[in-house]
Amino acid sequence: MAYQGFAQEYLGMPAVTRAYTTACVITTAAVQLEFITPFQLYFNPDLIFRKFQIWRLITNFLFFGPLGFSFFFNMIFLYRYCRMLEEGSFRGRTADFVFMFLFGGFLMTLFGLFASLFFLGQAFTIMLVYVWSRRNPYIRMNFFGLLNFQAPFLPWVLMGFSLLLGNSIIIDLLGIAVGHIYYFLEDVFPNQPGGKKLLLTPGFLKMVFDTPEEDPNYNPLPEDRPENQPRDQDQNQQQHPQ
């Protein structure tokens, strides 16, 4: 029963959230089982551009460290806020959600070229949290029963928590910065006087991820209309004449 419940919950996850969290878990499991090492995954511009190890552009977003508190903490936040975004403001807009992934990953990769950052998955999680928090500004949050605050403060609370754990806050600041750039270009600037929408999802992403809408002006041929289709009973009688 527990397995069926887990399988049902897993299959009920929206597609992008399921794909990303699964890739993160599989990558971490592969490292834990020593099939691969973090040295094969981390972001290294020299190896990417000189040795053509292109996979590092993706794998550095999939590894959150060895199994432990930090990994599970990041996975919980990744799953929760990625799913809430996909089922909330991006419902029915899978292509736009994928484009946000690509846009955010591109900006973080550019920054990674000029800084010694090896894994960007945590920054990516903070970006998702930031975008969700700005789109849900009136939701009250509770952090481990210690702090109560409005949703827009959540990324900063997480950054403070990371600082208390002795971690560098550069990754958190990068996630907040990229999240703010996306939020400003997508939600703020188009609504300003003289503003316009600058982030346009490419058509090929819409073709791949979005279900095409039916044309309200489409008029099917008479023989294609449902009322003119032969019924199953009539077909059976034709196939088995008396």
What is the residue type of 42? Answer: Y
Look at 19 and 228; give whichever has higher pLDDT.
19
28 falls in which pLDDT band (50, 70, 90)? very high
Provide the pLDDT confidence category of residue 146 given band limits of 50, 70 and 90: confident
- Whether 92 is in a domain gets the answer yes
Mean pLDDT value of segment 181-188: 96
Question: Model confidence at 212, in pLDDT bands (50, 70, 90)?
Answer: low
Give the pLDDT confidence score for residue 222 in this predicted structure: 58
Please check the confidence at residue 189 and state whether its pLDDT lies above 80: yes
User: Which among 138, 123, 140, 139 has a CA at the least distance from the CA of 181?
Assistant: 123
What percent of the chain stands above pLDDT 70? 86
Question: 140-143 and 147-150: which strand pairing?
Answer: antiparallel
Q: Which residues pair with 149 in a beta bridge?
A: 141
Segment 42-67 shows an average pLDDT of 93
Give the domain extent around 1: 1-209
164 lies in some domain:
yes
For 5, the token pair is 């419940």
Residue 93 has pLDDT above 70, yes or no: yes
Q: Classify 56 as helix, strand or coil.
A: helix
Domain presence at residue 137: yes
Residue 83 lies in a domain: yes
- The answer to whether position 233 is within a domain reads no
The structure tokens 């919980």 sit at 76
Inside any domain, residue 29: yes
Q: What CATH number is associated with residue 5?
A: 1.20.1540.10
Residue 234 lies in a domain: no
In the structure encoding, which two tokens stand for residue 71, read together?
């990994």
In whole angstroms, give the CA distance from residue 2 to residue 7: 9
Q: What DSSP state is assigned to residue 38?
A: G
The structure's pTM equals: 0.83
Instruction: Work out how many domains the chain is built from and give that number.
Output: 1
Report if residue 219 sits inside a domain: no
Instruction: Confirm if 38 and 60 have CB atoms less than 8 A apart.
Output: no
Whole-angstrom Cα Rg for the chain = 23
Q: Which of 71, 196, 167, 77 is nearest to 130 (CA)?
A: 77
